């Protein structure tokens, strides 16, 4: 079960920025993007994958690599690989470029890889001009096509917190080359959506093997796509750009990358914000039951929610049981063939959808009503949520990078189906030091959403135990990630970057409402 939620966590986390910037209004009653190509499969659980017919173009780009002994270089480019937001002018607020680094630093005479970089210049600055290096989640999440593309000219100062920001598509992801995307998985998810669970599992297993064989046949060293090499890329990026130090902002898996940099390259770091903390000592097993208990307890704390749904936990169980007896059916498009297939939502898939719906704060107030409606046999809101998660928004997760990181750092086993993706994705384990708590005296702010289902506040507590100058805050209105969820969150983070040696003023936290304080009541 943890593979299911952990993999969807990768893509959902990568989409949070777009929703918060106002690019999409997230509501189960509207057909808007949340997660691309959600595949309810048993090998990988719910694979949040975009449908894309890019296998041939990816292969062409990847095969274009040649061995090189070139050292690390950064070259500005005349264009950006993404469409800048409205009002953003290349050469003024935005600079793009390519960072070239060794694929495997243990083999300096081997291939080099190219990493896509975007640098935003804020029109307003605080007294300190140290830039912020953004580290996105996944592992395998893109940064340029999601966060960088969401920056607009009319709000750039607020969006950048009055600092310059550096965004990078980490090795194997986004516009960086080679790409470790696995379009085979999306295609298998689409074509098997109307089949039984065993057939779905078999299709996903075959697709994963096909992706592995394709990438390795192109000469890609999958063992080099790790957090350790990723951190070394960031170290080289800071040097190549000529900065003495940077501030770090890590979201989700990006917090693990940030912590690794804190351990290996502390001299380059002025301060750190860890948002939705995923420390190296914590495995990738997620506790769905604990996440749901947090939801139920939140409803009990809310007068409106508790009055409307006094037995939410029991309603949840009854809804799942009803779906096991009478599954919901909905039509989805197989983008590989253009055909329409019927997807079935049983009790297990209902629990998976509810778990994923706890990521964005904007969906949380609607979940009690959705649970109640499902229990009563009205499946329409549930099917609309399913459609929401299946709406393609473009490929943002590199599953090859995801598996290279997770299979080298964590054990990924689908216990229910006795399937081990890492038996297919053969990469060596990282050194034991990479799985140990990070000890650091760097100023660090750890932020957590009360309802975060995959990186709960307990993760931040575990990380903070060995960070001697850290402050850990929990935001009652948030799910996974707090930046851009409220003015309060942004003010606290901006203040911390301005004066990282001081305890941030957290007075506005007391003014934030719980996410379930304004729960939707009645028929959706």
Per-residue pLDDT tens over the stretch 249-264: 999 999 999 999 999 9
**Which helix (H) or strand (E) covers residue 274, if one does?**
strand 269-275
State the burial class of residue 155 (Cβ atoms within 10 Å of its Cβ: 0-12, 13-18, 19+): middle
Choose the CATH number for 73-180+220-281+397-515 among 3.20.20.70, 3.30.470.20, 3.40.50.1820, 3.30.70.60. 3.40.50.1820
The residue extents of the domains of the chain are 73-180+220-281+397-515, 288-393
Task: Kindly tell me if the per-residue pLDDT of 275 is higher than 80.
Answer: yes
Amino acid 6: pLDDT: 38
- Residue 285 has a pLDDT of 77
Closest CA to 38 of 22, 49, 29, 30: 49
pLDDT per position as a tens digit, 485-499: 999 999 999 999 999
Q: Where are the alpha helices (DSSP H) in 450-508?
A: 457-464, 487-498
| Residue 436 in this model has a pLDDT that exceeds 70 | yes
Q: The pTM is what?
A: 0.88
Say if residue 51's pLDDT is above 50: no
Residue 317: which residues within 8 A CB-CB, separation 6 or more? none
Pairing outcome for strands 112-120 and 94-102: antiparallel
Residue 260 contacts residue 232 (beta carbons within 8 Å): no
- Section 205-217 average pLDDT: 96
State the Cα–Cα distance between residues 435 and 279, nearest whole angstrom. 9
**In this structure, what DSSP letter does residue 85 have?**
P
Residue 406 has pLDDT above 80, yes or no: yes
pLDDT of 55 reads: 34
> Is the per-residue pLDDT at 17 higher than 60?
no
Closest C-alpha among 268, 16, 261 to residue 136: 16
| DSSP structure string for 10-52 | HHHHHHHHHHHTTSS---TTS---SSSSEEE-SSSSEEE----
Please report which residue ranges of 113-264 form alpha helices under DSSP H: 149-150, 156-159, 183-191, 197-217, 227-240, 253-264
Q: What is the 3-state secondary structure (H, E, C) of 325-376?
A: HCCEEEEEECCCCCCEEEEEECHHHHHHHHHHHCCCCCCHHHHHHHHHHHHC
392: phi then psi, degrees, rounded to nearest 5: -70, 135
For residue 9, what pLDDT is reported? 44
C-alpha gyration radius of the chain: 22
Q: Which pLDDT value is given to residue 2?
A: 31
- Using alpha carbons only, what angle is made at residue 357 by residues 37 and 28, rounded to the nearest 5 degrees? 80
pLDDT of residue 327: 96
Q: Which pLDDT does position 335 carry in this prediction?
A: 64
pLDDT recorded at residue 70: 54
Rounded to an integer, what distance in angstroms lies between the CA atom of residue 78 and that of residue 96?
8
| CA gap 122, 88 in Å, rounded | 11
Q: How many CB atoms lie within 10 A of CB 89?
A: 9
End-to-end Cα separation, the chain, in angstroms:
29
* Torsions phi, psi for 76 (to 5 deg): -70, 150
Q: What is the average pLDDT across 266-292?
A: 93
- Greater confidence (433 vs 18) lies with 433
Mean pLDDT throughout 379-394?
A: 78
Cβ atoms of 115 and 235 closer than 8 Å: no
What pLDDT, on the 0 to 100 scale, is given for residue 238? 98
Q: At what angle do helices 312-325 and 347-357 cross, to 10 degrees?
A: 140
Looking at residue 66, what is its pLDDT?
A: 46
Q: For residue range 445-488, what is the model confidence (pLDDT) as tens digits?
A: 999 999 999 999 999 999 999 999 999 999 999 999 999 999 99
| Band of pLDDT at residue 176, cut at 50, 70 and 90 | very high
Residue 416, number of CB atoms within 10 A of its CB: 14
Identify whether the C-beta of residue 26 lies closer than 8 Å to the C-beta of residue 32: yes
Report the pLDDT averaged over residues 82-90. 96
* Residue 510 DSSP code: G
Q: Which of 9, 85, 19, 7 has its CA nearest to residue 393?
A: 19
Distance CA 368, CA 28 (A): 12
What is the overall mean pLDDT for the chain?
85
Out of 11-20, 62-71, 308-317, least confident range:
11-20
Task: Extract the tokens encoding 493.
Answer: 């983070």
Q: Of 245 and 333, which is predicted with more confidence?
A: 245
Task: Dump pLDDT digits (tens) for 120-145.
Answer: 999 988 778 899 999 999 999 999 99
- Per-residue pLDDT, averaged over 294-298, amounts to 97
What pLDDT was estimated at residue 37? 27
């Amino acid at each position: 079960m943890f593979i299911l939620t952990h993999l969807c966590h990768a893509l959902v986390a990568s989409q949070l920025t777009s929703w918060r910037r106002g690019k999409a209004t997230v509501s189960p009653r509207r057909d808007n993007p949340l997660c691309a190509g959600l595949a309810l499969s048993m090998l990988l659980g719910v694979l949040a994958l975009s449908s894309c017919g890019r296998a041939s173009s990816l292969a062409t780009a990847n095969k274009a690599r040649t061995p090189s002994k070139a050292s690390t270089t950064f070259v500005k480019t005349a264009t950006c690989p993404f469409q800048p937001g409205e009002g953003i002018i290349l050469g003024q607020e935005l600079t793009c470029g390519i960072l070239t680094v060794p694929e495997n630093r243990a083999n300096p005479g081997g291939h080099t890889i190219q990493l896509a970089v975007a640098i935003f210049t804020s029109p307003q600055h605080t007294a300190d001009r140290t830039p912020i290096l953004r580290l996105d989640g996944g592992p395998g999440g893109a940064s340029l096509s999601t966060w960088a593309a969401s920056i607009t000219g009319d709000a750039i100062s607020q969006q950048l917190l009055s600092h310059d920001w550096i965004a990078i598509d980490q090795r194997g992801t986004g516009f960086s080359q080679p790409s470790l995307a696995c379009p085979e998985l999306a295609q298998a998810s689409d074509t098997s959506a109307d089949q039984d669970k065993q057939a779905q599992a078999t299709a996903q297993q075959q697709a994963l093997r096909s992706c592995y064989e394709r990438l390795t046949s192109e000469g890609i060293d999958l063992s080099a796509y790790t957090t350790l090499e990723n951190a070394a890329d960031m170290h080289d990026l800071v040097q190549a750009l000529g900065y003495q130090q940077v501030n770090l902002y890590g979201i989700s898996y990006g917090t693990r990358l940030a912590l690794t940099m804190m351990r290996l390259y502390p001299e380059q770091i002025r301060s750190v914000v860890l948002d939705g903390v995923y420390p190296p000592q914590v495995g990738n097993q997620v506790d769905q039951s604990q996440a749901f208990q947090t939801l139920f307890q939140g409803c009990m704390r809310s007068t409106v929610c508790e009055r409307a749904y006094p037995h939410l936990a029991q309603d949840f169980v009854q809804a799942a049981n009803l779906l096991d007896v009478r599954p919901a059916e909905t039509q989805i498009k197989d983008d590989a063939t253009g055909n329409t297939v019927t997807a079935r939502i049983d009790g297990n898939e209902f629990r998976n959808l509810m778990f994923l719906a706890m990521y964005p704060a904007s969906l949380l107030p609607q979940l009690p009503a959705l649970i109640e409606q499902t229990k009563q046999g009205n499946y329409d809101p549930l099917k609309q949520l399913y459609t929401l998660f299946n709406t393609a928004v473009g490929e943002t997760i590199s599953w090859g990078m995801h598996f290279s990181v997770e299979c080298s750092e964590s054990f990924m086993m689908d216990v229910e189906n006795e399937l081990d993706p890492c038996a297919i994705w053969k990469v060596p384990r990282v050194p034991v030091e990479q799985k140990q708590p990070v000890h650091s005296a760097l100023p660090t702010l750890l932020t957590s959403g009360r309802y975060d289902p995959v990186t709960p506040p307990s993760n931040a507590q575990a990380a903070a135990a060995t960070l001697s100058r850290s402050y850990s805050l929990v935001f009652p209105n948030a799910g996974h990630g707090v930046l851009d969820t409220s003015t309060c969150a942004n003010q606290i983070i901006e203040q911390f970057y301005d004066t990282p040696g001081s305890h941030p003023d957290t007075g506005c936290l007391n003014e934030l409402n719980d996410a379930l304080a304004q729960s939707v009541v009645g028929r959706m």
